[in-house]
Structure formats: C-alpha cells, structure tokens
Amino acid sequence: MSALISVKNLTRVFDVSKPWLNRVIERKPKAFLTAVSDVSFEVPENSVYALVGESGSGKSTIGKIIVGLVPPTSGSVEVNGVDLSASKNTADIARVRSDIQMIFQDPYASLNPRWRVRDIIAEPVTVLGGETEGLAERLLEQVGLSAADAHEYPHEFSGGQRQRLCIARALASEPKMIVCDEPTSALDVSVQAQVLNLMSDLREEFGLTYLFISHDLTVVQHVADMIGVLYLGSLVEEAPRDTLFSTPKHPYTRMLFDAAPRMDGFGREVDPPKGEIPDPINPPSGCTFHPRCPLAVDRCRTERPEMRRIGETRVSCHMAE
Amino acid sequence: MNTAVLSVRDLVVEIPTRNGVLRPVDQVSYDIAPGEILGVVGESGAGKSMTGNAVIGLLDPPARITGGEIHVSGQRIDNLPREALRRLRGRKIGMIFQDPLTSLNPLLTVGEQLTETIREHLDVSESEALNRAVAALDEVGIPAARQRIGSYPFEFSGGMRQRVVIALALCAEPELVIADEPTTALDVSVQAQIVALLKRLCRDRGVAVMLVTHDMGVIAEAADRVAVMYAGRLAEIGPVRDVVSHPTHPYTAGLMASTPLASLGHNRLRQIPGAMPRLEALPDGCAFHPRCAYAEDTCRAEPGPSIETCGGRAACWFPLSHDEQEGAA
C-alpha cells in the first residue's frame, strides 16, 4: 500500500507571548508553546489512522496542518507527493486541496446558519467552478437524509443530522481523504453509533481514507486500523489497533488504557494515574512523560527518547522492549 | 424505605409554554440509600439534569414541580418556602456541576468560598472554619492545601478545580450529593482520579450520591444502581450489573448495544433508528414505541406499566427476557 499522506518531522510552535509593552514592564521573556513536536507518520491509502491523546496533546493541530489551515513551523506534510506548505505549483495545490476535506467536532458551529443546506453542501465544488446541479440532493440521500432537505436551513436539523450534513459537504468534492476532528464527541451514544456506521459505509463505497482524531479510546478501537498515541505534542507510540490494545508498550499508553472507564468494569477499583499533563510552555526535560512515569530512570530526565521500532509497534521510550 | 436518604415519588416537572405544557420529568420515582451511588443515564433531553435540579430546588422558572414528593432523610422538601430550602441546600444536599470554572466565583479565593459556605451552614468560628476548609481541600487530594487556600480558581488546573468544587459540595457535611456530569469536561486520566475520589468519599462518609452522566463506562465503574431515563420517564432502574449486562427495557438494550465495545472490533454498531422525540411532540403511549422493534398496539395506546425485574423495575409492556438477549446479541 502506498502512503497517501506522509508526515515528516512535523513541528508547530505557537508564540503565546504577552504584548511587548507588558513584557517590558513585567520583564518577562517571550513565551513559546510547542503544540506539535517532531511528529512523523504515514497514512496508507484506504485505511483509518487514528490520533488519540488528551487535551493539549496536539492532535487537532496536526489535523489542521494536514488540511492546510495552519502552516507548520518545520517539517513537512506530503499529500500524494505534494507538500502543501512548500509547493509553488498552484495546479498541484488546488488538486490536493480538493482531495482532502475535514469534518469538525461541533456540528452547530461548523454550518453557516444563514445558508441553505444546498449551498452549504455544494460549496467545495462551487469554489472550484464545478457543476453542482443535483449534487446536494444526491449527497443528502447518500448520508441518509432526504433530498427535499436541500431547501432547509441548518437550524431545522438535530445534532446527528447536522453531522450528516457536514459529512455530505466533505464528500462533495470527491475527496480521497477526510480528516475527522472528534466527529462524534458532541453526539449522544445512539446517534454516535449511527454516524460511525455511516462513516464506515461511505469508506467502503468511495474508498476513503480517514484521519480520525479522538480522545475516546472505545471509539478509536472501533474504527481505526492504525493508532498513534500523542502526549504533549509528541508521538509516543504507534501500532496497529489489535497490537496496541493487546500489548501497549509505552507507559503512557498503558496508563491511558487503565484509566479509561470500561462497560464491564463493575465496581472496578482503579489506581488513578498520578499527576496531570504538564505546562506545555515549560515542558519537562528529556522524555516529557518522566514526572508521571512509574518506570522513569535518570536517562529519561535528560535524554529525549528516539522513535524505535519493536515488532509492529513504533514507540519512543527508553524502557520499552 | 425509611432508611433512604433521598426518596422521590412520582415527580412531575412541567414547563408552561405558549404551545401547551411540556413535561421534561414525568412520574419519576426512586430512592437512594446512605453510601449508595445511583447513576442516572440518558441521552440529551432525557430529563436527567432536570430531575437533579428539581431535587435541589434549582429549577429555572417557568419550570416547576407540579406533582409528586421529594423527601430528604424523611423530611419533605419540595413544598418548602424559598428561605428554608436555601438553608437546606449545601447543608443537607451538596451539588457538583459539570463545568468547574463557572461554578466557582472567580473573584474570591477558594478559601473564602469554602469558609463562607462552612460558616453559613455550621455554627463555627472563623479560625475553625478555616481549619475545616484546609481539611476539606486536603481530603479531596489537593497538595499543600494550607498554601493553596489563598489561591484564586484560575490558578488551578481543570482537575484541581473540580476537586475544589467537590470540597465545596462536601464541606458542610451534606447527606446527599448531586453530581451533574462531574467528569464530562475532564480528560480520561483526570476523570479516573475524580471518579476514584467520589467513590472513596461516598464510602468513607456514607454520603448518598446521585451521579448524572451520559458515560456508560463511568456508571458501570462507579454506580451501585442505575436509572435509565428516556423522554422524561424512567425506562429502567436496577443494580448496575443487571441493567448493563441484562437490560429489560428495549431502550436500555439499544443504548448498551450502540456503545462501541472492545469485543466488537470493526463490526457495525447496533443503532437505534430515529432520534429521541422532542418534548413538544411526545408520541402517545410509551414514548419509545416509534423506535422500538417490539412495539405493538398496546405500546401506542398506553405507557409501559411498571414491572419488577431482577432487583429493579422497568416500564415496558413487552420486556426482554434473558433468552431473547442471548439471541439478539
């Protein structure tokens, strides 16, 4: 399988300094937040790659960089061999852009309330000057709504139906790849099941590739082929789904699995994880997980672990074997 | 059931609107014993938060209680005047809200907020109140509590803030705590910490907890019994093990089956067709019948009768037997 997306040494730093006058008065230096730090991975065609992590782990930033909403500070993202942030060939960029679409978390905020559903869904094609006759109606039926809904405004739909509208819009330009940023976390469980089933049907029908960003391990376990675990901007572990869930190698992945509530965990007494995610503006030295890690040794405090391959797993931990 | 801390009987909450009267909570009855955690689950709009708010007397007008009784340790509270109810809140019933930042006052230190609550409800001196405040923060696991007591809410992280909210709910030693989605805004690892804390406090102090959430995993791990709500009514209530593994009500069964589980892998999730009806357009009879695979004419005419299940109750005409579930699963 060839890689549809290949992310190499991706880093994104945000300047979170106070305004210069405040810095002068308070004698504070500039502050930088490293949201994504040296992340590399590849997404093969027609697969589902999931990024999981807690808040502040950089998962949404990676999604935005891939669709080109945020430029990377260093490193590159190649989609079908085209680097969106560096390429000068406008024809290439236009082609790649229509190959990637995004579905956002909040279906209330991501649909323009003043536009009719037909215009919302057809927009990705309209901007490229394509033919939109009957397009919205066809897509509406594909996502399980009715063609007559094309006249309506978004407020007439429930949360799950709105997320279906977002999926229809994402499909309009016939993309190869859809970046889904927490597509179901605003939805109720029974509606979540409907949307996840729809997404897996569409994947088979159109041969889509998904980059699935989520914090919900049970959802990720259900949908993903390959899973990357992020902690404080770094990829700490990457493995095929079954390998990751049966033999997690990084202590953070293990902690995350232990902490996640389970449907069959009646009265389970968990030993809750120690500590919290550190301040990303001033992250710990060496391996960023070492203050919370039960296995940490002196080496972890000073030296940042490289990504190593162990069997099917890639893991960045000095102690993993 | 004289021993129950909270006893709700046939509670009805109504909202008068221009287009008729809505019933977000309809004929809900349950008890919570001391030291017991009752989980209340349901999808958005099922009336679970509304039930909690009704118990603590925080319904936003025009919503009001129009039927039923609420007893807290034997005392009827739903017909108390405002002032008496205000004194009861915090003293007998503590409340933990979803968003810890909006439920703390940003202009007061956590110490001021804690001592204010303690002195309002307990007859103690200022220094004693401060000592109790430190002890309360200590108990919920805030490190260096005596130094942190002068900090403002914004100086704490999300998980620490929720601990402060829990300390605030517990500082006047209430008998009942209503926790409305206490971990929804938190990360998985912090959520595990908060759930463990709630369970420990409940066990150590014998506080009754009503845990409102939509996360079945949290319920399975924390609750002793679980109540499933649908469109304002109690669909099913019973010991958590029975309700999760052997649901009797078709809605509960659908809810469990649509939760992605480890064993399912890439298979399709079972989905419940349709969506929960709006309050303005509740179907006649059992509110679940348009989405129910087992519905018959009786269901369309009358709401499900309350039937006994193993250790609990369910409101259904055609409850699932265990054999059927084996077949369906």
Rg (CA), chain A: 21
Q: Three-state SS string across chain A, please?
A: CCEEEEEEEEEEEEECCCCHHHHHHHCCCCCEEEEEEEEEEEEECCCEEEEECCCCCCHHHHHHHHHCCCCCCEEEEEECCEECCCCCCHHHHHHHHHHEEEECCCCCCCCCCCCCHHHHHHHHHHCCCCCCCCHHHHHHHHCCCCHHHHHCCHHHCCHHHHHHHHHHHHHCCCCCEEEEECCCCCCCHHHHHHHHHHHHHHHHHHCCEEEEEECCHHHHHHHCCEEEEEECCEEEEEEEHHHHHHCCCCHHHHHHHHHCCCCCCCCCCCCCCCCCCCCCCCCCCCCCCHHHCCCCCHHHHHCCCCCEEECCEEECCCCCC
**3-state SS assignment for residue B90:** coil
Task: Using the structure block, give the residue that is written with the tokens 């469980």.
Answer: A189
Q: How many CB atoms lie within 10 A of CB A94?
A: 12
- Residues in chain B with CB shorter than 8 Å from the CB of A261 are 191-192, 195, 215, 217-218, 220-221
Q: Is residue A164 part of a domain?
A: yes
Q: Which helix (H) or strand (E) holds B22?
A: strand B20-32
Q: How far from A288 is each of A39, A73, A276, A278, B106, CA to CA, in Å?
A: 14, 20, 12, 8, 31
Q: Is residue A236 part of a domain?
A: no
What tokens were used for B75?
A: 């005392």
Question: Are A200 and A309 contained in the same domain?
Answer: no
- Residues in chain A with CB shorter than 8 Å from the CB of B221 are 261-262, 265-268, 270
Angle at A54 (CA atoms; ends B214, A247), nearest 5 degrees: 95
Q: Which of A193, A200, A277 sits opposite B258 (nearest CB)?
A: A193
Cβ atoms B322, B243 nearer than 8 A: no
Q: What is the pLDDT of residue A228?
A: 95
Q: How far apart are CA A139 and CA A118, in angstroms?
A: 10
Cβ atoms B178, B212 nearer than 8 A: yes
Q: How far apart are CA B183 and CA B209, in angstroms?
A: 14
Question: Are A209 and A142 contained in the same domain?
Answer: yes
Question: Are A149 and A280 contained in the same domain?
Answer: no
Q: What is the pLDDT of residue B286?
A: 87
- DSSP codes joined into one string, B32-83: E-TT-EEEEE--TTSSHHHHHHHHHT-PPTT-EEEEEEEEETTEE-TT--HH
Question: Are A90 and A176 contained in the same domain?
Answer: yes
- Residues in chain B with CB shorter than 8 Å from the CB of A217 are 188
Residue A223, Cα to own-chain centre: how many angstroms?
Answer: 13
Task: Using the structure block, give the residue that is written with the tokens 């290439």.
Answer: A92
Q: How far apart are CA A163 and CA A178, in angstroms?
A: 14
Q: Is residue A67 part of a domain?
A: yes
Inspect the interface and report whether the beta carbons of A256 and B264 lie closer than 8 Å: no
Q: What is the pLDDT along chain B (329 residues), one digit of tens a residue?
A: 457 899 999 999 999 988 888 889 988 999 999 989 999 998 888 888 889 989 988 888 888 899 899 999 888 888 888 888 888 888 889 999 888 778 899 999 999 999 999 998 888 999 999 999 999 998 888 888 888 889 999 888 888 888 899 999 888 889 999 999 888 878 888 888 888 888 888 888 889 999 998 888 888 889 999 999 998 889 999 999 888 888 888 898 888 888 876 455 556 777 888 778 888 888 888 888 888 888 888 888 888 788 877 778 888 888 887 655 544 43
Residue in B with minimal Cα distance to A279: B157
Residue B62's identity, in one-letter code, is P
Mean pLDDT over all residues of chain A? Answer: 88
* Interface-testing mutation among B49, B183, B188, with chain A (most A C-beta atoms within 10 A): B188
- Is the four-CA dihedral A85, A91, A97, A99 of positive or negative sign? negative
Q: Is residue A287 part of a domain?
A: yes
- Residues in chain A with CB shorter than 8 Å from the CB of B199 are 269
Q: Is residue A241 part of a domain?
A: no
Rg (CA), chain B: 21
Cβ atoms B71, B6 nearer than 8 A: yes
Residue A258: strand pairing partners: none
What tokens were used for A77?
A: 């993202």
Inspect the interface and report whether the beta carbons of B191 and A259 lie closer than 8 Å: yes
- Is the four-CA dihedral A237, A239, A243, A246 of positive or negative sign? positive
Cβ atoms B254, B230 nearer than 8 A: no
Question: Are A187 and A308 contained in the same domain?
Answer: no
- Closest approach of A266 to chain B, Cα-based (Å): 5
Q: What is the pLDDT of residue B266?
A: 54
Question: Are A155 and A198 contained in the same domain?
Answer: yes
Q: What is the pLDDT of residue A82?
A: 83
Q: What is the pLDDT of residue A131?
A: 83
Q: What digits encode the pLDDT tens for the residues A185-228?
A: 888 888 888 889 899 999 989 999 999 999 888 889 888 999 99
Cβ atoms A263, B261 nearer than 8 A: yes
Question: Are A198 and A288 contained in the same domain?
Answer: no
Q: Which of A54, A188, A267 sits opposite B188 (nearest CB)?
A: A54
Q: Which of A197, A256, A268 sits opposite B271 (nearest CB)?
A: A197
Question: Are A299 and A221 contained in the same domain?
Answer: no
Inspect the interface and report whether the beta carbons of B271 and A194 lie closer than 8 Å: yes
Cβ atoms B94, B167 nearer than 8 A: no
* Domain housing A70: 3-231
Q: What is the pLDDT of residue B1?
A: 45
Question: Are A90 and A221 contained in the same domain?
Answer: yes
- Is the four-CA dihedral A18, A20, A21, A23 of positive or negative sign? positive
Inspect the interface and report whether the beta carbons of A272 and B260 lie closer than 8 Å: no
Number of domains in chain A: 2
Q: How far apart are CA A93 and CA A77, in angstroms?
A: 12
What CATH number is associated with residue A98?
A: 3.40.50.300
Cβ atoms A219, A187 nearer than 8 A: no
Query: If you count them, how many residues does chain A have?
Result: 321
Q: Is residue A289 part of a domain?
A: yes
Crossing angle for the helix pair B250-258 and A189-206, to the nearest 10 degrees: 50
Q: What is the pLDDT of residue B322?
A: 60
- Residues in chain B with CB shorter than 8 Å from the CB of A272 are 189, 192-193, 195-197
Q: Is residue A245 part of a domain?
A: no
Question: Are A29 and A167 contained in the same domain?
Answer: yes
Q: Is residue A240 part of a domain?
A: no
CB under 8 Å to A307, separation ≥6 — which residues?
A40, A235, A314, A315, A316
Higher pLDDT, A30 or B323: A30
The strands making up B20-32's β-sheet, listed across from edge to edge, are B20-32, B6-17, B64-72, B75-76
Question: Are A209 and A92 contained in the same domain?
Answer: yes
Task: Using the structure block, give the residue that is written with the tokens 């935005």.
Answer: A64
Question: Are A208 and A258 contained in the same domain?
Answer: no
What tokens were used for A31?
A: 């502050």
Angle at B67 (CA atoms; ends B304, B95), nearest 5 degrees: 100
- Closest approach of A91 to chain B, Cα-based (Å): 38
Q: How far apart are CA A281 and CA A284, in angstroms?
A: 10
Residue B32, Cα to own-chain centre: how many angstroms?
Answer: 11
Q: How far apart are CA B257 and CA B269, in angstroms?
A: 7
